[in-house]
A and B are shown apart, each in its own frame.
Chain A
Amino acid sequence: GQQVMQIPQYQHVQEGEDFTTYCNSSTTLSNIQWYKQRPGGHPVFLIQLVKSGEVKKQKRLTFQFGEAKKNSSLHITATQTTDVGTYFCAQKTSYDKVIFGPGTSLSVIP
């Protein structure tokens, strides 16, 4: 079945450093969604990308969808301790099925 992979699995950064997580698929993706889950919390929707080469920004977060629609990235500029959590990319297929990637766990050292 369709699978999305994410790298890195874990990332530890000093507060103020930048952070990037990558989501990759061997097949063309119709869309990519990104979610954030804080420790002890539940996934919270961040963004959805559907167009080839699409770039969206939310304050310090920049999301990209690859030209071939086989990869996506989430970049955080100048990380803060509030950015701590696990970032999941996910693909929503037809029939409302959502497939989550394995996630990247971000730790921010103050």
Chain B
Amino acid sequence: DTEVTQTPKHLVMGMTNKKSLKCEQHMGHRAMYWYKQKAKKPPELMFVYSYEKLSINESVPSRFSPECPNSSLLNLHLHALQPEDSALYLCASSQVLAGRYNEQFFGPGTRLTVL
């Protein structure tokens, strides 16, 4: 299985809602990532988890709260978002092999609209 799955595919939420994005992989990868991508822009790194521990937070506002319950799952909890947070949210995973630069496998993304 070389797939990263994400749910939901689309999400529309109001600024007062609380929602969660989910990501799952069964490739045994121990690094997982959240990216935000606006139209016609490159993916912007938000968070990195390595061995289920948060290793990088790219100064993301606290209305985004990541969680890694186990080595296969990654969640992104959303609360009190702003319309400018509307974007494609991509999850990715990769191996963690010392001294190597490993490819990332991306999920299909969740297209989020904040009203």
Q: Is the CB of B42 within 8 A of A101?
A: yes
Q: How large is the interface on B (under 10, 10 to 19, 20 to 34, 35 or more residues)?
A: 20 to 34
Which residues on A sit within 8 Å (CB–CB) of B102?
A: 92
Number of A-B contacts (CB under 8 A): 55
Q: Does A59 contact B (CB under 8 A)?
A: no
Q: How large is the interface on A (under 10, 10 to 19, 20 to 34, 35 or more residues)?
A: 20 to 34
Contact of B40 among A41, A101, A105 (CB under 8 A): A105
Do most interface residues of chain A lie in helix, strand or loop, or is the interface mixed? Answer: mixed
Q: Is the CB of B55 within 8 A of A95?
A: yes
With A42-B109, A48-B101, A48-B103 as contacts: A88 and B42 at CB distance below 8 Å: yes
Q: Residues of B with Cβ closer than 8 Å to A?
A: 31, 33, 40-45, 48, 50, 55-56, 90, 92, 94, 96, 101-109
Q: Residues of A with Cβ closer than 8 Å to B?
A: 30-31, 33, 41-45, 48, 50, 88, 92, 95-103, 105
